[in-house]
Structure 1
Amino acid sequence: MSRPDITGLLESRLGEWADLQGLAVAYDNTSFEPPGGIYLTSHDMPATPYAIDLSQRSKVFIGVYQVNVVIPAAQGRGEGRAIAGLLEALFVNGTELQGEGFSCYISGEPAQYAGIATDTTWTIPVSINYRADVAQ
Structure 2
Amino acid sequence: MEKSDAIRHAVRQVPAPELPAGFTPRLMERMRREAARRERRETWLLTAGGVGCFTALISACVTALWPDFRLRIPDFALPRPELPHIGLPHIELPRLALPEEDKSLVAMCVCIALAFLVLLLADLMIHRHIASSRN
TM-score between both structures, scaled by the size of structure 1: 0.25
Q: Which has the higher helix share?
A: 2
Q: Which has the higher strand share?
A: 1
| Structure exhibiting the larger radius of gyration computed from Cα positions | 2
TM-score between both structures, scaled by the size of structure 2: 0.25
